Structure 1
Amino acid sequence: MSMKKISLAACFAAIIFLIITTVCIRGMSDGNKPVVKNGQADLSSWDFDEKGGVRLSGEWEFYWEKLLYSDDFKIKPSHTRVSYIDVPSIWNGHVVNGKNVGGEGFATYIASIKLPEGMETVYLKAYDMSSAYRIYADGTLIGKNGDVSADRDMAHPEFNPQIVKFNRENEWVEIIVQVSNYSHYKGGFWESIIIGNEKSVEAMNGKSLMANFFVMGFIVSMAIYHMVIASLIRKEKAFLFFSVFCILMSIRIFITGERCIVDLFENTNWETLQKIEYLSFYMMLPVFIRFIDYLFECKFSRAFLKTVYAFSFIFSIIVLVFPAKAYTRTLSAYHVLIIISGIYVIRAIVSAVRDNINGAQEFSVGFFGFFAAVLVEIVSVQKVLGYQGTLFWGMIFFILMISIAISKQFSAAVIDTEKLALEKEKMVEKVNELNEKLKRRNSDLVNRVTRDGLSGLYNHRHIHEKLAEKAIKANMYGSCLSIGMFDIDRFKDVNDNYGHQFGDKVIVEVARILSENTRNSDAVGRYGGEEFIVIFDGADENVSFEVSERLRIEVEKQIVKNLGVRVTISGGVTELENEECPTNAIRRADELLYRAKRNGRNRIERSMTSKPAQIP
């Protein structure tokens, strides 16, 4: 992918981000709404029902190191104040009497608001002020957070957005906000107060809460989703780290903004909430870096990773050990680390895109948008421009692009799996084919080693091996085992009269008849020339003799029928005695065979004293 395409992707991300931040971030836009100027805002012609509530942003009267009340002023529609300060903002660095204001201290903010006629009940939505405040309307205390005091020992911090109301008595309403801070590095009016009627303020509050819960719910669901994937595909650790990153982001959403955690845990200590907020933020960077490192197969140097881990660890330890007044000073330094890390990540992403890593293009678009949101959030925090929430919406955009990238990776994985399955199927077919060929070749080799080439029966060597195996088995189990030796009568005459090829046919035919008329447990072999041997497994001499007689008769009958020549066989049958050497039994059967030859051929002789078989 060319750098031009990468630039276009970055531009696309920036455009999308601008659309998101413009339309969705605040859920409302100040647009042409009136702002406070010189401590006054004329809202007499503002339609709160149609146009919604108004953020009281602008120039508020500012009295440093003074906690003033309504009685301290003579209210007039147009009056001049000595000093003004922008709201929202921090008072750090504000010049009062030629001196820069620090973070610690107390002050009073005053603004006079002219409201429409007939608007009797007025609602205010107050957000964070650092780090305690009291709100007065026409001299009446209507809301407070923490304890405001000029004495640091009497002051107590608290962050808790709230909606307050009061009954309007005059055309101009004087709003006094007393703020004190001894607990945070930055003090001041952090977020503008929203003013309106019940409908407009509740609507804006509902939109803000809905946006918070939507973003948090979305990110939590993504955390669970990626955690499940990580548990199923354990080697893909990127999913685990992204899930942890989403969890940390969800915690930060729960604690900041509308500070929903305060509604759930009312008695939670302010210092504890601050520590959780900062720890979740300081832990996100190393987790996110680790996620990208696993996602793009270690594109980061070990030195960079160690640096990020070390700084994040040090910052986290500072948060755990020191009070908020100390560790809140580290935020700016950590912002620098984030920016540097973001630039380094961009280099890694560009490298991943160049290497054509699957999903890198989608990830690059998402990260550019997310990083832009981070930069906006950093500027907002540094300048205290009010709670922007861009980080969380940028996170949603980033997650969507990550989902597209993961879907693309999964689709590619499925396609690759299907290809592998097809290749495997072809490979299996080929292996099976090769196995069949190998089996046939092995069978051929076995046959060549164990079979007679002409008759197909066991050859001389292998029939001896079979006889030895069966003899051992017979002796072990005490079963019977008999041997029959057979020879074709006057076979030389057959060869002389009909030729050797015809003689081979006679041998083949005799072999077939012997094989087809014996059991599978029996073993038939060609002992040599025109001589054959049959091992009768589990049969005594009487049974073997009867079977041999049938074989003799079948040979004579079928050869005449198939070859048109009368051919007979003679045989000798004997039973293997207990523990007898098989060779002795063969010798005995062979002697009986030659006795049959001497006694006229075409007969079977056996070793037992019984009447010999007659020639039919």
Structure 2
Amino acid sequence: MRLRVPVFFLLLLGAILGCSPPHAPYSPKAKQGILDLRDWDLKTSPLVSLDGEWEFFNGLEIPAKTSSKTYIHVPGSWNQFPLPNGEHGGEGTGTYRLTVLLGNPIKDLALQMGDISTAYKIYLNGKLLADNGVVGGTKDSMTPSYKHPIILLDAESKELNFVIEVSNFYHITGGIRKSIFLGPILDIFESKKQEISLGWVVFGATFLMGLYHLILFFMRRVDKSAIWFAFFCIDLSIRGFFTGSVFIYEITQDKYWVYIHKLDLLSFVLALPLFSLFLRSLFPEDFHKHFNTAFVSVGAFFALIVLLTPATEYMWYIQIFQAIVGLIIVFFLVLMIYCIFKKREGAVLFAVGAVFLFLATLNDILNQALIIKTRYIANWGLLSFLFSQTIMLSFRFSNAFVRLEELQRSLEQKVLDRTSQLEEAKHVAEEANSMKDTFISLVTHDLRSPITTIMGILQLIENDYEQLDDMSIKEWLKRAENTSSQSLEMIATLLDLNRLKSGSFPMDNSLIYVFPEVEGVLAKLWAQANSKKLDIRNSIPNDIRMNVDRALFSEIFVNLLSNAIKFCREGDSIEIDFSSKPNAMEFTVKDSGIGIPKEMIPGLFSTEIRSTRLGTNKESGTGLGLPLVYSIISAYHGRISVESQEQKGSKFTFSIPQPLLDLPRLNPA
């Protein structure tokens, strides 16, 4: 019962991933060298393949006169194409020609090229469009290439005449082996991007799974299945770069084609011994070591052939290898059925994933041999296989650790509870110690200067008492009083900051009307504002109410407005505004004063960076007002921000969250 859901999931996944994409609804075929696309609708079918009958000529030139035209099917190889003295064969040269008829000239068309063995030049209306590799009449004069470029068409015409010259002396099959697609540039690029993206997704999933099992092996070396499965995954993930979007061929120079193609085939050949070793490590009782030795030897033998022989030779042997792999696949399937019959742990899940992997691999073999015309899907089969192995491993680990977890559960819970208590106590102690250190540091730093000033004044009076008159003494004592008053104000602010940060400040929240509270603050600051003849406008509506601590709320405006007054010039203006946000009240205090230097803005709300300077009338400050405002707003989980331009003014915006109030609004008297 436990396996039904995973098996159903794997079947569905395999059905989605393993199937080839459906044919396009519009797919006309070329007939006798002409492809009629006059009823082509770009909106419903942006891409169309140039499949069908192309004119074909042996050699790299089109004869001026021909007794009769000969045609070849594209995609396909030219190997069995009849010639006067026999068949063409894989090696040689050939020229393809196709005429495409369009209803109207279409701008910005492009071609997405596929596999063409193994070098070509393409012409449009007699003009060379592009070449891939170096076309030559002999092996020494040509350079092979497997790139799948996008070729832009620079002609706008109702009739497109394509000529493709192909030479091949490096592969057993020659010619246009895969479809060529025609379509608008953007659609061609989008199709290419999707193909590349899918390739990277498959590579990432398979490679990371292989890396995971490799790490798993080094952590627990008793089970060797992990390392063989890791190498198998990594091998097939790398192989994905040689098929589909042919990424490796795209990024390497054509002169290295011989070596890249060997790596391509090696990644395919080595998959057999790696999978055999993995299967042997999983089911040692059922998979006899002699079979494993035979399969590993077969893989090693054909790997040596690929390494030691040229492409035209080892490709013939690869066909034999593909046939052997087909038989081995049948053997593996029979072995899986036997393991299921013996009720080996994980055999069902392994078999389900293996079926999709084998079918996908078989598809790639038949596709490579041009027996079928589909896309390469071995990596998708690998993904299905990986899912099955992941589920199988999860069951194994679950069965292995379930009893251990039951024995440790009680002890672990006690340890967790005790650890949680200790962590909480430690956090409280560290927070209290941090706040204490910060408070002591601030008090020590900020009281040193005013106390030194007061002591200097008192020493001056003491030393020069006989020479000072009463007015001078009163002036010095007034300075000492002002300094002491500022120090007391600073200490009160520091205490409030410390209490707010520690959460010990009692908040007496109540429903208040905002407008009269702000007016009360303006009344306290009237003398300062009047001395500069400032124009202050309170635009807060009369009926706005908030649930806050009255004193703390007033403290916010006291500091913001006193700062605005301090840095305003004579005749400047200050505006207080309000806006209602979802579940919050937002206020702004905007002035037209001298603004704030850009370098000071980041430290405005920090107690560690004291942002203080003299006002326009040489007013001084403690530099703690804005940090106090920030702490009050933070205590209510609100936000504050500042915008400023020098000589143009500043704008402070803050918001305090508020629940929706359904109480009737009253106009305050």
Q: Report the TM-score when normalising by structure 2.
A: 0.57
**For residues 131 and 418 of structure 1, do their structure 2 counterparts lie closer, same or farther at Cα, with a shift above 3 Å needed?**
same
1:43 maps to 37
Unaligned runs of 5+ in 2: 413-669
**For residues 174 and 278 of structure 1, do their structure 2 counterparts lie closer, same or farther at Cα, with a shift above 3 Å needed?**
same
Residue 302 (structure 2) pairs with residue 305 (structure 1): no
Residue of structure 2 aligned with 1:337, choices 324, 329, 332 = 324
Paired residue type of 1:342: I
Q: Write the distance in 1 (CA, Å) between the matches of 2:205 and 2:76.
A: 31
Residue of structure 2 aligned with 1:109, choices 93, 96, 100 = 96
Residue of structure 1 aligned with 2:348, choices 361, 370, 375 = 361
**For residues 301 and 272 of structure 1, do their structure 2 counterparts lie closer, same or farther at Cα, with a shift above 3 Å needed?**
same
**For residues 265 and 148 of structure 1, do their structure 2 counterparts lie closer, same or farther at Cα, with a shift above 3 Å needed?**
closer
1:20 maps to 17
Q: Write the distance in 1 (CA, Å) between the matches of 2:358 and 2:180.
A: 29
1:188 maps to 175
**For residues 285 and 50 of structure 1, do their structure 2 counterparts lie closer, same or farther at Cα, with a shift above 3 Å needed?**
same
1:54 maps to 48
1:531 maps to none
Residue of structure 2 aligned with 1:352, choices 339, 347, 350 = 339
Q: Write the distance in 1 (CA, Å) between the matches of 2:368 and 2:380.
A: 16
**For residues 316 and 328 of structure 1, do their structure 2 counterparts lie closer, same or farther at Cα, with a shift above 3 Å needed?**
same
1:412 maps to 399
Paired residue type of 2:37: L
Unaligned runs of 5+ in 1: 75-79, 426-616
Which whole-Å deviations, capped at 9, do the CAs of 1:152-183 have from their partners, x for residues lacking one? 32122111110111222431111111111111
Assess if the C-alpha contact under 8 Å between 2:133 and 2:254 holds in 1. no
Assess if the C-alpha contact under 8 Å between 1:10 and 1:368 holds in 2. no
Assess if the C-alpha contact under 8 Å between 1:342 and 1:371 holds in 2. yes
2:133 maps to 146
Query: Cα RMSD between the aligned structures?
Result: 3.0
1:563 maps to none
Give the C-alpha shift of residue 12 in structure 1: 9.2
Assess if the C-alpha contact under 8 Å between 1:220 and 1:246 holds in 2. yes
Q: Write the distance in 2 (CA, Å) between the matches of 1:238 and 1:347.
A: 20
Residue of structure 2 aligned with 1:63, choices 57, 66, 69 = 57
Assess if the C-alpha contact under 8 Å between 2:25 and 2:45 holds in 1. no
Paired residue type of 1:21: G
SS of structure 1 residue aligned to 2:369: helix
Alignment of 1:227-266 (within 5 A): 227-266=214-253
1:272 maps to 259
Q: Write the distance in 2 (CA, Å) between the matches of 1:346 and 1:391.
A: 17
Paired residue type of 2:107: E
**For residues 280 and 167 of structure 1, do their structure 2 counterparts lie closer, same or farther at Cα, with a shift above 3 Å needed?**
same
Runs of 4+ in 1 over 4 A off after TM superposition: 8-16, 384-387, 419-425
Assess if the C-alpha contact under 8 Å between 1:14 and 1:368 holds in 2. no
Paired residue type of 1:389: Y
Give the C-alpha shift of residue 52 in structure 1: 2.2
Alignment length (residue pairs): 411
Q: Report the TM-score when normalising by structure 1.
A: 0.62
Assess if the C-alpha contact under 8 Å between 1:315 and 1:330 holds in 2. yes
Give the C-alpha shift of residue 198 in structure 1: 1.0
Identity %: 27
SS of structure 1 residue aligned to 2:100: strand
Assess if the C-alpha contact under 8 Å between 1:137 and 1:173 holds in 2. yes
**For residues 51 and 288 of structure 1, do their structure 2 counterparts lie closer, same or farther at Cα, with a shift above 3 Å needed?**
same
SS of structure 2 residue aligned to 1:51: coil
Assess if the C-alpha contact under 8 Å between 2:305 and 2:314 holds in 1. yes
SS of structure 2 residue aligned to 1:405: helix
Paired residue type of 2:51: S
Give the C-alpha shift of residue 385 in structure 1: 4.4
Assess if the C-alpha contact under 8 Å between 1:57 and 1:193 holds in 2. yes
Assess if the C-alpha contact under 8 Å between 1:132 and 1:180 holds in 2. yes
Q: Write the distance in 2 (CA, Å) between the matches of 1:248 and 1:260.
A: 15
Assess if the C-alpha contact under 8 Å between 2:209 and 2:230 holds in 1. yes
SS of structure 2 residue aligned to 1:113: strand
Residue of structure 2 aligned with 1:166, choices 145, 153, 156 = 153
Assess if the C-alpha contact under 8 Å between 1:68 and 1:178 holds in 2. no
Which whole-Å deviations, capped at 9, do the CAs of 1:254-297 have from their partners, x for residues lacking one? 12322212444346600000110111111110001111111223
1:514 maps to none
Residue 389 (structure 2) pairs with residue 402 (structure 1): yes
2:281 maps to 294
Give the C-alpha shift of residue 108 in structure 1: 1.0
Between 1 and 2, higher relative CO (CA 8 Å, sep ≥ 6) is seen in 1
Give the C-alpha shift of residue 307 in structure 1: 1.4
Paired residue type of 2:119: A
Give the C-alpha shift of residue 249 in structure 1: 0.9
**For residues 138 and 228 of structure 1, do their structure 2 counterparts lie closer, same or farther at Cα, with a shift above 3 Å needed?**
same
Alignment of 1:496-515 (within 5 A): none
**For residues 32 and 122 of structure 1, do their structure 2 counterparts lie closer, same or farther at Cα, with a shift above 3 Å needed?**
closer
Q: Write the distance in 1 (CA, Å) between the matches of 2:386 and 2:200.
A: 16
**For residues 253 and 411 of structure 1, do their structure 2 counterparts lie closer, same or farther at Cα, with a shift above 3 Å needed?**
same
2:496 maps to none
SS of structure 2 residue aligned to 1:297: coil
Paired residue type of 1:308: F
Assess if the C-alpha contact under 8 Å between 2:114 and 2:180 holds in 1. yes
Q: Which moved more, 1:109-118 or 1:190-199?
A: 109-118
**For residues 303 and 139 of structure 1, do their structure 2 counterparts lie closer, same or farther at Cα, with a shift above 3 Å needed?**
same
Q: Write the distance in 2 (CA, Å) between the matches of 1:31 and 1:286.
A: 42
Residue of structure 1 aligned with 2:194, choices 193, 199, 207 = 207
**For residues 386 and 135 of structure 1, do their structure 2 counterparts lie closer, same or farther at Cα, with a shift above 3 Å needed?**
farther
Which protein has the larger Cα radius of gyration, Structure 1 or Structure 2?
A: 1
Paired residue type of 2:307: L
**For residues 411 and 103 of structure 1, do their structure 2 counterparts lie closer, same or farther at Cα, with a shift above 3 Å needed?**
same
Q: Write the distance in 2 (CA, Å) between the matches of 1:17 and 1:60.
A: 36
Assess if the C-alpha contact under 8 Å between 1:245 and 1:287 holds in 2. yes
**For residues 45 and 194 of structure 1, do their structure 2 counterparts lie closer, same or farther at Cα, with a shift above 3 Å needed?**
same
Residue of structure 2 aligned with 1:126, choices 86, 91, 113 = 113
Q: Write the distance in 2 (CA, Å) between the matches of 1:162 and 1:245.
A: 30
Which whole-Å deviations, capped at 9, do the CAs of 1:520-544 have from their partners, x for residues lacking one? xxxxxxxxxxxxxxxxxxxxxxxxx
Q: Write the distance in 2 (CA, Å) between the matches of 1:288 and 1:211.
A: 24
Q: Write the distance in 2 (CA, Å) between the matches of 1:196 and 1:280.
A: 33
**For residues 46 and 418 of structure 1, do their structure 2 counterparts lie closer, same or farther at Cα, with a shift above 3 Å needed?**
same
Q: Write the distance in 2 (CA, Å) between the matches of 1:335 and 1:10.
A: 29
**For residues 339 and 146 of structure 1, do their structure 2 counterparts lie closer, same or farther at Cα, with a shift above 3 Å needed?**
same
Q: Write the distance in 2 (CA, Å) between the matches of 1:317 and 1:423.
A: 58
1:371 maps to 358
Q: Write the distance in 2 (CA, Å) between the matches of 1:296 and 1:53.
A: 48
Give the C-alpha shift of residue 298 in structure 1: 4.4
Assess if the C-alpha contact under 8 Å between 1:44 and 1:116 holds in 2. yes
Assess if the C-alpha contact under 8 Å between 2:6 and 2:391 holds in 1. no
Q: Write the distance in 1 (CA, Å) between the matches of 2:396 and 2:17.
A: 26
2:503 maps to none
Give the C-alpha shift of residue 45 in structure 1: 2.2
SS of structure 2 residue aligned to 1:154: coil
**For residues 121 and 81 of structure 1, do their structure 2 counterparts lie closer, same or farther at Cα, with a shift above 3 Å needed?**
farther
Which whole-Å deviations, capped at 9, do the CAs of 1:95-122 have from their partners, x for residues lacking one? 3347222111111111111234241332
Assess if the C-alpha contact under 8 Å between 2:26 and 2:45 holds in 1. no
Give the C-alpha shift of residue 420 in structure 1: 7.3
